[in-house]
A and B are shown apart, each in its own frame.
Chain A
Amino acid sequence: MLAIENLQLNTQGKLRHFLSIEGLNKDLLTEILDTAESFAGASEQSIKKFPLLRGKTIVNLFFENSTRTRATFELAATRLSADILSMNIATSATSKGESLLDTIRNMEAMQVDMFVVRHSLSGAAHFIAQHTAPHINVINAGDGQHEHPTQAMLDMFTIRRVKKQFAGLRVAIVGDILHSRVARSQILALNMLGVEEVRVIAPKTLLPAQVEELGVSVYYDMHVGLKNVDVIIMLRLQKERMNSTFLPSENEYFKCFGLTDEKLKIANRDAVVMHPGPINRGVEIASSVADGPQSVILQQVSNGIAVRMAVLSMTMNGNRGAE
């Protein structure tokens, strides 16, 4: 396919939608991280609320269930003084046969300013951005197996906070790459920000076709793949993938691809462990690792708010620039 049409940027090259990491560049990613840093710094000094989006209405359109992502978007919007409405459409309109476009049109009619969209089909956020009214911003909170760009940015934020810079880093992403929108966004962002190497470690059943072309090196064995690694990102294994044609059993998966204290020792000494959550203890990660000193999993969650504040405020500004 050709590069994603740059729906995301206005004529001045500023963000107006945030749909995918693809189509952005190192400067923009760095700007998101820097903006997030200023929000995080302020929050840590107990200033939690900013008037930047006062009077704006943001709608969380979740066609697929989520707790964490939805909650952090709600908090981010609230801390920017926006009004936020969360719609759980998985159990609402579309189950009555309303089309995606009709749902969007109805919400538009309520004079909202921004959609935060999660959908089970790849390309849904892109589709909405193409068809929505021009004054509305669209943020992708995960579309099918395509991208989950805010999750990737909060991961980049976490890595930068811990490791200070991206140059020279080796990052391993372990688990269900095939179905993971998080992994796709992470791989793009890590390469864009200039890490040394991105590795994926998984059995072939959980790797997409020609995965190397995404910009990764491929390993099937953690004992080899984790050598010299600075950051380990474990992916969640969805329940329905276990005991299926993808994997024989939970047990075998944990033995081969679960992160244990012993396997963690293969990586660099100061390696950090990340996970987009929610974690399956004893399936992809041992409790002792998830709760251990090298884990930054909970920091990822707190960072999620600052990063989403950055993305919300930047896209809203981007629209202003376009007017």
Chain B
Amino acid sequence: MRIEIVNGHIIDPQNGFDQQGSLYIAEGKIIGMMHAPEGFAADTSINAQGRIVCPGFVDLSARLREPGQSHKATMKSETKAAASAGFTSLCIPPDTSPVIDSPAIVELIEDKAEKCDYPHIYPIAALTQKLAGTELSSMHALKKAGCIAVSHGHHALQDLLILRRAMEYAASYDLLLIYCPQEAALSNKGCAHEGAMASRYGLPGIPAAAETIALVQCMELIEQTGCRVHFQGLSCARSVDLIAKAKIAGLPVSAGVAMHQLHLTDQDMRPYDSHYHVIPPLRSQQDKDALLVGIQNNIIDSICSDHQPHDVDAKLGAFPETEPGISALETVLPLMLRLVEQKNLSLTQGIEKLSTEPARILGLNAGGLAVNNVADVCIFNTNESWQINAKTWQSRGQNTPFWQDTMYGKVTHTLQSGKIIYLAER
């Protein structure tokens, strides 16, 4: 299949490319830019007039709920949603059921992914067996089976000795550790940011120190083990400072935030609306501002969706007993455009944080549009408005605090390896 994308505004942060032009694709790769290669005859021509053409988005954390929780969502439903939102690569955290701690589970996921035929799926291996935090997982075998990194998901690691050994072991095979810093004793089963709002509404709080202490502990172990670490899902101002210091010191670290942390604070929560229940919790305005500065200064490298689709029952109950998480894939692009609109980011920076940077962190051949790159492409407009409702929404999980909001910006085409995996209805 040969495809040409003509007259689009091409933005490729990886190669510093930002101009009006055309892309030529054949055999899954980009074979030409601006000018068609000699003898090129397209089977399909996409007129991208007035739209942005950029590398497809790479998500460092998207829970697809399979295997094990297909009552919440399926790989099919969520990969379809992801494609419609411009994603071409998704990393799946290991806390599936059963957890991703054996090559057999990786194969199972890859089989299912193949049938879906949507974005690339990259399983993340469990750091310890069953994520129990006691015995190391077979990281080498898991890497060979196709895992792109190791992680402990949201399961806090109680034992620092295990963390140290796991990091040493991961470093032996040059595996990236994706680490969500959260100290369990200090989090103490909390469900909201420990501050005036949690105090007012009587919600068990999670102090910022629960994140920063875990962050510092892990950083000290990076120094000792040499393990590459991506800190995922940061929420506090102090964390941004700590990451900045680690980078200055030359530690092999990167950092990411979930998109909702750049838009919502504890002040925005509608009291007891469980759609605002996320871990780490929505923090203060000051924290949100610091995260934005961190993004602008490249202290924070990437933005992920932290997609967590839920069934209705999971969110139906008194706030503390509901399950945390937002169904987020489809709001990532419009929320990125909102940051651009608010002048917090340039469009290029936004694409960089969603595509180029996560691809770099993972070491993927993605995140750019140069000749010979895999043709993972997203085409979107920045001004089309749409309302989030049951008709427009693709994910099985309708759990988003943005439900019924009007969003600006819509993906019109998504290409994975040169194949159109999403085409907006006209």
| Genuine A/B complex | yes
B68 CB–A CB distance under 8 Å: no
Q: Are A126 and B272 in contact (CB under 8 A)?
A: yes
A100 CB–B CB distance under 8 Å: yes
State A124–B316 Cα separation when bound (angstroms).
Answer: 11
Q: B247-275 toward A: CB 8 Å interface, digit per residue (1/0)? A: 00000000000000000001111111000
Q: Are A119 and B318 in contact (CB under 8 A)?
A: yes
Given contacts A1-B269, A2-B270, A99-B313, contact A211 B199 (CB under 8 A): yes
Q: B25-45 toward A: CB 8 Å interface, digit per residue (1/0)? A: 000000000000000000000
Given A123-B272, A124-B318, A214-B196, 14 further pairs, Cβ under 8 A: A5-B271, A99-B313, A101-B317, A122-B202, A127-B272, A127-B318, A144-B320, A146-B201, A146-B202, A146-B203, A208-B205, A209-B205, A213-B199, A214-B200
Name the CB-closest residue of B to A177: B199
Q: A141-182 toward B: CB 8 Å interface, digit per residue (1/0)? A: 001111100000000000000000000000000000000010
Q: Are B320 and A122 in contact (CB under 8 A)?
A: yes
Residues of B within 8 A of A127 (CB): 272, 317-319
Q: Are A123 and B319 in contact (CB under 8 A)?
A: yes
Q: Are B203 and A122 in contact (CB under 8 A)?
A: yes
Q: Are B202 and A144 in contact (CB under 8 A)?
A: yes
Q: Which of B272-326 contact A (CB under 8 A)?
A: 272, 313, 316-321
A70 CB–B CB distance under 8 Å: no
Name the CB-closest residue of B to A179: B202
State A181–B195 Cα separation when bound (angstroms).
Answer: 17
B95 CB–A CB distance under 8 Å: no
Q: Are B320 and A213 in contact (CB under 8 A)?
A: no
| B interface residues, tally (CB under 8 Å) | 27
Residues of B within 8 A of A122 (CB): 201-203, 272, 318-320
Residues of B within 8 A of A181 (CB): 202
Q: Are A184 and B202 in contact (CB under 8 A)?
A: yes
Min CB distance A198 to B, Å, is 14
Give me the 7 closest cross-chain CB pairs, A-B, nearest first. A145-B202, A208-B199, A146-B202, A123-B272, A121-B318, A213-B196, A122-B202
Min CB distance A236 to B, Å, is 16
State A101–B201 Cα separation when bound (angstroms).
Answer: 21
A244 CB–B CB distance under 8 Å: no
19 residue pairs A–B, Cβ–Cβ below 8 Å? A1-B266, A3-B271, A123-B201, A123-B319, A123-B320, A124-B318, A127-B317, A127-B318, A145-B203, A145-B204, A146-B201, A184-B202, A209-B199, A209-B205, A210-B195, A210-B196, A213-B196, A213-B199, A214-B199
B194 CB–A CB distance under 8 Å: yes
Q: Are A144 and B318 in contact (CB under 8 A)?
A: yes
A4 CB–B CB distance under 8 Å: yes
Q: Which of A86-105 contact B (CB under 8 A)?
A: 99-101
Interchain Cβ contacts within 8 Å, total number:
89
Residues of B within 8 A of A2 (CB): 267-271
Residues of A within 8 A of B196 (CB): 209-210, 213-214
Residues of B within 8 A of A213 (CB): 196, 199-200
B198 CB–A CB distance under 8 Å: yes
Min CB distance B101 to A, Å, is 29
Q: Which of A107-145 contact B (CB under 8 A)?
A: 119, 121-124, 126-127, 131, 143-145
Contact count band on A:
20 to 34
B197 CB–A CB distance under 8 Å: yes
Across the interface, B320 reaches (CB within 8 A) one of A5, A121, A209, namely: A121
Q: Are B199 and A100 in contact (CB under 8 A)?
A: no
Across the interface, B197 reaches (CB within 8 A) one of A1, A100, A145, A184, namely: A1
Q: A253-268 toward B: CB 8 Å interface, digit per residue (1/0)? A: 0000000000000000
Q: Are B195 and A209 in contact (CB under 8 A)?
A: yes
State A126–B201 Cα separation when bound (angstroms).
Answer: 11
Q: Are A99 and B317 in contact (CB under 8 A)?
A: yes
Residues of B within 8 A of A5 (CB): 270-271
State A123–B196 Cα separation when bound (angstroms).
Answer: 16
Given contacts A208-B198, A209-B199, contact A121 B268 (CB under 8 A): no
Min CB distance A217 to B, Å, is 15
Q: A51-77 toward B: CB 8 Å interface, digit per residue (1/0)? A: 000000000000000000000000000
Min CB distance B184 to A, Å, is 14
Q: Are A209 and B194 in contact (CB under 8 A)?
A: yes
Given contacts A121-B318, A122-B319, A127-B272, contact A1 B200 (CB under 8 A): yes
State A302–B283 Cα separation when bound (angstroms).
Answer: 43
Min CB distance B311 to A, Å, is 13
State A144–B202 Cα separation when bound (angstroms).
Answer: 7
Given contacts A122-B201, A213-B196, contact A1 B267 (CB under 8 A): yes
State A121–B322 Cα separation when bound (angstroms).
Answer: 11
Name the CB-closest residue of A to B197: A1
State A8–B266 Cα separation when bound (angstroms).
Answer: 23
Min CB distance B285 to A, Å, is 13
Residues of B within 8 A of A131 (CB): 316
Name the CB-closest residue of A to B282: A1
Q: Are B271 and A4 in contact (CB under 8 A)?
A: yes
State A214–B268 Cα separation when bound (angstroms).
Answer: 18
Name the CB-closest residue of A to B199: A208
State A5–B201 Cα separation when bound (angstroms).
Answer: 13
Residues of A within 8 A of B204 (CB): 145
Q: Are A101 and B270 in contact (CB under 8 A)?
A: no
Given contacts A184-B202, A209-B194, A210-B199, contact A121 B269 (CB under 8 A): no
Q: Are A209 and B198 in contact (CB under 8 A)?
A: yes
Q: Are A100 and B318 in contact (CB under 8 A)?
A: yes
Q: Which of A178-232 contact B (CB under 8 A)?
A: 181, 184, 208-211, 213-214
Min CB distance B379 to A, Å, is 37
Min CB distance B196 to A, Å, is 4
State A147–B272 Cα separation when bound (angstroms).
Answer: 13
Min CB distance A59 to B, Å, is 18
Q: Are B319 and A101 in contact (CB under 8 A)?
A: no
Name the CB-closest residue of B to A147: B202
Residues of B within 8 A of A3 (CB): 271
Min CB distance B188 to A, Å, is 10
Residues of B within 8 A of A208 (CB): 198-199, 205
Min CB distance A140 to B, Å, is 12
Q: Are A184 and B272 in contact (CB under 8 A)?
A: no
